[in-house]
Chain A
Amino acid sequence: MGRIISATLTRALLALLIVVALGPILWTVLGAFKELRDIVTPVPKLIFDPTLDNFATILRNPTIRDGLLHSAVVVSVSVLIGAVLGIPAAHTLARHARRYGDDVQFFVLSLRFMPPVAIAIPFIVIYLDLGIYDTLFGLILVYLVTTISTVIWLAVPAFDRVPRDIEEAAAMEGCSPLEVFWRFSLPVAAPSLFGAIVFTFVLVWNELLLALTLAAQNATLPVVAASITSLGKEVPWGVINAATVVLVVPPLVFIGLLMGLLNTSVQGGRK
């Protein structure tokens, strides 16, 4: 009996936490499909005539459309390169250069100690000189510092947790070091690496300050979204909600894709 009560209480608590966590997101999503008068009514409405006008406004707006495109390009390229360079580097640190591992780990982490404001100004000057100010390439370049360092920092412990015996057993079966990495270390560490990549993705997807200072015409989505909120007195709540949804959906799609990839790669091990 006591067990049932405590189980019920636990569930109730969990449900409450979920409502608290997801409530605002749900409200935003609902708001994105509401007309302005449904949003500003004193009595909140759960039942209403959904409209796609807000999304239409967003996607018809060239600034927002471009922002979405720029974000997609900048973030995917910088995360991809970050993963391709960072993951093998992390494996090497974890396995073959353990002596230097801690120092490198700290160095990589220390890259993130610096407040972005501090590097933003020098970067403007350097970028203007190099002629890559306000280019996607320039943004990708600064973001690489973030993505590579974050991926390394999170992936070294992931590879540390791969039992060395497994790699040695694979070597005994004739696998070259590259094969050991590709067919064993990587799939075994994949679930943790997946977390590292998602975290990195979200980090740069939401990055505002550097994007704001280093690009003008080629603004990314957070910059555009920030500018919508300062549209004046007549706040287009519906449009803002829709913009938020547009901002949040790509990371979710990305996570979904990665999950699928993870599943197939784990299956792939069995051929």
Chain B
Amino acid sequence: MANITCSSIVKSYGDYPVIDGLNLDIPDHEFVVFLGPSGCGKSTMLRMIAGLETVTGGRIEIGGTDVTDLPPGDRGVAMVFQSYALYPHMSVADNITFGLRRQGLPKAEIAPRLTQVADMLGLAPFLDRRPKNLSGGQQQRVAMARAMIKTPKVFLFDEPLSNLDAKLREKLRTEIRKMHLQLKTTTIFVTHDQLEAMTIADRIVLMRDGAIEQMGTPDEIFERPASHFVADFIGTPAMNFIDATIEPGHVARSGSIALSLSRDLFPGLRPGQKVELGLRPASMDLVEPGAPNAIAGRVVLVENMGAEGQVITEVDGREISFVTAQFRRVKPGDAVRFALRPDQIHAFDPVSGRSLLGA
């Protein structure tokens, strides 16, 4: 087990830097998720930590040892690939134990460890099979067992669940999380699925174009997004964004919408200042007439999501959506009023996109 320190990491293919001066500190025992849109450099970063990709510049330390120039096998890390990468010419048991056998561990020591991980992951009935005779979920477990049995200092997962169906994905996600609670091995998990990231992570590293946009616990990222990009990326349904102008009394106005903002959260706002408001659909709900901070709109569409529904409304010619449990009461064409608390309103600089929290 170990902490991971990446300092000023640069990675270029040709002249074009894919990762540009990235700094990252991961404490021991932490479960960190790299999250971001496709092509932002998550896999590249993970593969550099694994040693499968050389760094163009910067240093990587694992557990206080500089591993920048070590081959992958000497870094004490184990990786689970998106494609599982099981060895097709070996049985499941041989797949799992290959690393230990290669290190020359005695059979008597390998056997109990194999039994232990196989039991933990429910693989005991399949040990003699070839990987191609297993289902996707079983193959994925073999890949995890192969990583676990070596008791590495660090686990790396590159989108390990993306080839599975939704139900199995949820199940394995829980298993991975449980496994981490038990083993407490420092883990980096790459995904582009924000829900997966929110549910599994101790801490999320949200990446964009090869740089870290924000790093924090799922709650921090969700409740205090550092930028428009983060706010837009996290949360379903996606956040509503409205350009507004600050008026005296700490009120943001945009057409018929007037929302009073929290003075504690946004002490620096001045009348006349342009801001971009961020309103989460999930933090708004239907209100009675006369309620404060309400927005009046006309229902365009109601989307049933089971326990709740997303109501898409038209306000001053643009669409704003909110989520309510009482969605069955409204239908397209209805006039509705919905509101949210001032402390749930996000405000961003319309030019830089940075959050105006505390500014």
Interface residues of A (CB under 8 A from B): 163, 165-166, 168-175, 184, 187-188, 190, 266, 269-271
Contacts and interface: CB of A to CB of B under 8 A. Distances in A.
Contact of A174 (B73, B86, B90, B94): B73
Contacts of B150: 173
Contacts of B101: 271
A100 B71 CA distance: 26
Contacts, number: 65
Q: Which of A188, A266, A269 has the most chain B CB atoms inside 10 A of its CB? A: A269
B83 A165 contact: yes
A169 B85 contact: yes
Interface in B305-323: none
A68 B84 CA distance: 50
A173 B89 contact: no
A165 B131 CA distance: 15
B73 A269 contact: no
B333 interface: no
Interface stretch (B5-13, B74-82, B294-302): B74-82
A54 B198 CA distance: 81
Which range contains the number of B residues in contact with the other chain? 20 to 34
Contacts of A175: 73, 102
B89 A172 contact: no
A172 B94 contact: no
Interface of B: 50-52, 71-74, 77-79, 81, 83-91, 94, 98-99, 101-103, 146, 150
18 contacts: A165-B81, A169-B79, A169-B86, A169-B87, A170-B87, A171-B51, A172-B50, A172-B51, A172-B72, A173-B98, A174-B71, A174-B73, A184-B87, A188-B87, A188-B89, A269-B90, A270-B91, A271-B101
A253 B69 CA distance: 49
A150 B102 CA distance: 34
Nearest to A184: B87
Contacts of A174: 71-74, 99, 102-103
Contact of A172 (B78, B83, B86): B78
A187 B72 contact: no
A151 B79 CA distance: 34
Contact of B94 (A184, A190, A271): A271
A173 B52 CA distance: 12
A184 B72 CA distance: 16
A188 B72 CA distance: 21
Nearest to A187: B89
Q: Which of A169, A174, A269, A271 has the most chain B CB atoms inside 10 A of its CB? A: A169
Contacts of B50: 172
Contacts of B78: 172
B90 to A, nearest CB: 5
A172 B90 contact: no
B107 to A, nearest CB: 10
Given A172-B79, A188-B88, A270 B73 contact: no
Contact of B85 (A168, A269, A270, A271): A168
A270 B94 contact: yes
Contacts of A188: 87-89
A169 B150 CA distance: 13
A14 to B, nearest CB: 27
Nearest to A169: B85
A270 B128 CA distance: 11
B93 to A, nearest CB: 8
A175 B88 CA distance: 17
A172 B74 contact: no
B113 to A, nearest CB: 15
Contacts of B74: 174
B99 A173 contact: yes
A271 B99 CA distance: 13
A174 B101 CA distance: 11
Contact of B52 (A171, A187, A266, A269): A171
The 9 A-B pairs of least Cβ separation, nearest first, read: A174-B73, A165-B85, A173-B99, A169-B85, A269-B89, A187-B89, A270-B94, A165-B81, A172-B72
Contacts of B73: 171-175
A190 B73 CA distance: 25
B132 to A, nearest CB: 12
Given A163-B83, A171-B72, A171-B73, A266 B89 contact: yes
A168 B78 CA distance: 11
Nearest to B47: A168
A40 B316 CA distance: 102
B133 to A, nearest CB: 15
A168 B73 CA distance: 10
Contacts of B51: 171-172
Contacts of B89: 187-188, 190, 266, 269
Given A269-B94, A271-B101, 13 more contacts: A165-B83, A165-B84, A166-B87, A169-B81, A172-B50, A172-B77, A172-B79, A173-B99, A174-B73, A175-B102, A187-B89, A270-B94, A271-B94
Contacts of B98: 173
Contacts of A269: 87, 89-90, 94
Contacts of A184: 87
A170 B78 CA distance: 11
Contacts of A170: 87
A224 to B, nearest CB: 42
Contacts of A271: 94, 101
Contacts of A270: 90-91, 94
